Amino acid sequence: MIVVSHRGPYSFSRGDDGNLTAHRGAGGLVSALGPLLSAEVDATWIAAAISDDDRSAVRAGTTGDLDVNLRLLDLDRAQHRMHYDVIANGVLWFLHHGIFDRTRRPRFDLRFRDAWDAFVAVNQCFTDAVLETAAPGEVVLVQDYQLTLVAGQLRAQRPDLRVVHFTHTPFAGPDDFSLLPTDVGADLCGALASGPAGFHTKRWAEAYRQSARATLGRRAAVASPFVASLGPDVAALEAVAASADARAAAGHLDDAVGDRLVIARTDRIDPSKNIVRGFLAFDRLLEARPGLRGRVVLVAMVYPSRQGLAEYLAYENEVEQVVARVNDRWATRDWLPILLDDRDDFARSVAGMQRYDVLLVNALRDGLNLVAKEGPVVNRRDGVLCLSPETGAYDELKSAAIAVHPYDLEQCAGALDDAVSMPLDERALRATKLRALATMRSPADWLSDLINHAGK
C-alpha cells in the first residue's frame, strides 16, 4: 500500500550538534495513520520535503531510518511555492471553506495561470513517485486538496492501480465552485470523478457530487463519492497525556489558571478557524456576566501556520490585537482573561484538553475537526463541547454538544454562558455521551474503509 500526502508524518530539524533529527508531526492524519502504517511492513508514505532541513535530510539519505518507509520529494522550490501558497492554500483552501472576501478575491490572472501550471506539475511529481514504486495492482491512498489531480493522473497512466482519493477539507458546492476558471474546475472534478473519492461527511460528499455534475455536465461519468469519518487514536492520545511533556505542561497550566473555569481552544491560526470571533464572543460574555470576571480564563493554544500567505500573517496580527484589547479591557492584577500560547506543541494541547471545562470549536467551516473528538477523549472534567454546525464532526457529535453559530457573537456568548453554567449532572451525562460518540470510529476503521473502496 502507498499513502500519498503533501505533509508527511515526520519533519526534520538540525540540532545544536549539526545532526538532522526527525520529529513526528502532530496533525490529525499523521497521528491517525502513523501507527497503522508503521505496523504494515509493505507500506510506503510519499510526501513533500517542506523545510530546508527536510530537503537536507532527503539529500543526506536520513529519511530511511524511521518506523515508516518514508519517501520525501525534493520538489523544485519555486514550483512548490506556487503549488502550496498560491493554488492549494491561496485558492483551493479559501474556495472549499467559503472564506474568499469576494469583492477582492479570487482574481485569476497570468500569475494564477503560472501557479496552476506549477500545481499540475507538482501533482505529476507525486504521481511519478508513485509510478516508480507501485507494484501491479497496488492500493494507493491519495490525501487531500493539495493533491487533487494525482488520482486522475495515476488512473490515466496505470489503470491497474487501485487508487482512492480522500479529501480532509469541506468541498465547495456549485455556487462557490463555479468561481474557478471553467477548465481548472473541470480538471479538478474530472480527476476526482474518475474513481472513488471519499469525504468526512455526507454534506461534503454531496457538495462534491453536485459541483462535479455542474462542472462536467450531466452525462459525464462521476463515480459515487463515499463517506468515511476519521476517529481519534485513543491509545496514542492516552500515551501523550501520560508523557512527561504533557505532565509538565499540565503543571504550568495549573499554575497559570488555578481553580478558575477554563474555556480552551486549540487551532492552527487560520482564518477558517474563526479565532477572532471566538475572542469577541468571550469579550461579550465577560460584559454580559460580571459574575464570571476573574473566574474564567480562555486558554487559546493557537499557533502560526502557512506564513507565506499575506492573509494568514494579517489574521495572526488580528488575533494578537484582539487578545490585547480584551485583556486590556478586563484584566486585573491577578487575572488575565485570555492566555495566548502560540507554540505548536501537541503535548501542551493535550494538557489543555485534559483541563478544560468548555472546549470552543467555532470554525467557519471545517472538513472534520479532529480536536472536537480528541478533546472529549482526554478531558478529565466532564467538559462541555461548544461546536460549530459547520464542522464535519458536528454531524456525529451534535446530540451531546452545544451548537455555536460561527458568525453570531451574541449566540456564541450565550452558548459559552450555558456551557460554563451547566449543572454538574448534565455535564457528566453529556461528557459520557460525547466520549462514546467521539470514539465510534477509530483510525483503523477509516483506513479499512479507504482500502475497501479501492476495490479488489
CB of 84 vs ligand G6P, minimal distance in Å: 7
Strand 44-48's sheet: what is its strand order?
A: 69-73, 44-48, 2-4, 139-143, 162-166, 197-199, 226-227
User: Among residues 6 and 284, whose Cβ is nearest to ligand G6P?
Assistant: 6
CB of 370 vs ligand G6P, minimal distance in Å: 8
Spatial distance between the Cα atoms of 151 and 165, rounded to a whole number of angstroms: 6
Spatial distance between the Cα atoms of 203 and 209, rounded to a whole number of angstroms: 10
User: Among residues 124 and 305, whose Cβ is nearest to ligand G6P?
Assistant: 305
User: Among residues 200 and 277, whose Cβ is nearest to ligand G6P?
Assistant: 200
CB of 27 vs ligand G6P, minimal distance in Å: 5
7 lies in the site for ligand G6P, by CB under 6 A: yes
Spatial distance between the Cα atoms of 63 and 73, rounded to a whole number of angstroms: 11
Site string for ligand G6P, 298-337 (x = CB under 6 A): -------xx-------------------------------
∠157-158-163 over CA atoms, to 5°? 115
CB of 79 vs ligand G6P, minimal distance in Å: 17
User: Among residues 144 and 449, whose Cβ is nearest to ligand G6P?
Assistant: 144
The answer to whether the beta carbons of residues 325 and 337 sit under 8 Å apart is no
What residues does 264 pair with on adjacent strands?
Answer: 299, 359
User: Among residues 144 and 311, whose Cβ is nearest to ligand G6P?
Assistant: 144
Helix-, strand-, coil-residue percentages of the chain, each rounded to 5: 55, 15, 30
CB of 51 vs ligand G6P, minimal distance in Å: 11
With residue 236 as reference, give the H or E element that holds it. helix 234-242
User: Among residues 282 and 312, whose Cβ is nearest to ligand G6P?
Assistant: 312
24 lies in the site for ligand G6P, by CB under 6 A: no
Among 124, 115, 30, 143, residue whose Cα is nearest residue 75: 124
User: Among residues 306 and 348, whose Cβ is nearest to ligand G6P?
Assistant: 306
Residues in region 369-398 near ligand G6P by CB under 6 A? none
211-216: Cβ within 8 A, 24+ apart: 211/171, 211/172, 211/173, 211/174, 211/177, 211/185, 213/174, 214/174, 214/177, 214/178, 215/174, 215/177, 215/178, 215/182, 215/185, 215/186, 215/189, 216/186, 216/189, 216/190
CB of 326 vs ligand G6P, minimal distance in Å: 27
User: Among residues 90 and 173, whose Cβ is nearest to ligand G6P?
Assistant: 90
CB of 45 vs ligand G6P, minimal distance in Å: 13
83 lies in the site for ligand G6P, by CB under 6 A: no
CB of 169 vs ligand G6P, minimal distance in Å: 5
CB of 6 vs ligand G6P, minimal distance in Å: 6
With residue 395 as reference, give the H or E element that holds it. helix 392-397
Among 251, 272, 253, residue whose Cα is nearest residue 264: 253
Spatial distance between the Cα atoms of 96 and 120, rounded to a whole number of angstroms: 19
Site string for ligand G6P, 154-193 (x = CB under 6 A): --------------xx------------------------
Helices (H) and strands (E) in the chain, counts: 19, 15
Spatial distance between the Cα atoms of 401 and 391, rounded to a whole number of angstroms: 12
The answer to whether the beta carbons of residues 318 and 302 sit under 8 Å apart is no
27 lies in the site for ligand G6P, by CB under 6 A: yes
User: Among residues 168 and 453, whose Cβ is nearest to ligand G6P?
Assistant: 168
- Candidates 53, 54, 85, 144: give the one binding ligand G6P (CB under 6 A): 144
Position of minimal CB gap to ligand G6P: 168
CB of 144 vs ligand G6P, minimal distance in Å: 4
User: Among residues 48 and 420, whose Cβ is nearest to ligand G6P?
Assistant: 48
Among 232, 230, 233, 214, residue whose Cα is nearest residue 222: 214
Binding site for ligand G6P (CB under 6 A): 7, 27, 144, 168-169, 305-306
